[in-house]
Amino acid sequence: MTMFKKGDLAWTPSDTTLIKLDEFGESVINWCRVVVPTHVVVLGEPDGPYQEVLYRSEKWLARTLDMYEINKEEVSSNVG
């Protein structure tokens, strides 16, 4: 399993569900389904099976199992 750290760019496939929890971290208060494969920014260290991510300018929780490392060689070859 890939370990992500704050600031990492991760890839998440389509049909991934992202959630938001209440202030006590006990109940899901909102959710969203990623329609197309997309990139997210990791905002914090893992909290159980979830990691806080930035998706469409909002903070969400994504299951770490649904996140994939981006191939750094592929990214650098697409730049410039």
The domains located in the chain, with CATH, are: 9-78 (2.30.30.40)
Instruction: Please report where in the chains the tokens 């006990």 appear, as a residue.
Output: 26
* Per-residue confidence (pLDDT) for residue 72, from 0 to 100: 65
* Per-residue confidence (pLDDT) for residue 74, from 0 to 100: 54
Burial of 61: CB neighbours in 10 Å, binned 0-12, 13-18, 19+: buried
Instruction: Please report where in the chains the tokens 């159980």 appear, as a residue.
Output: 48
Would you say residue 1 has pLDDT above 70? no
pLDDT band at 75 (very low <50, low <70, confident <90, very high): low
pTM over 0.95? The answer is no
Would you say residue 80 has pLDDT above 60? no
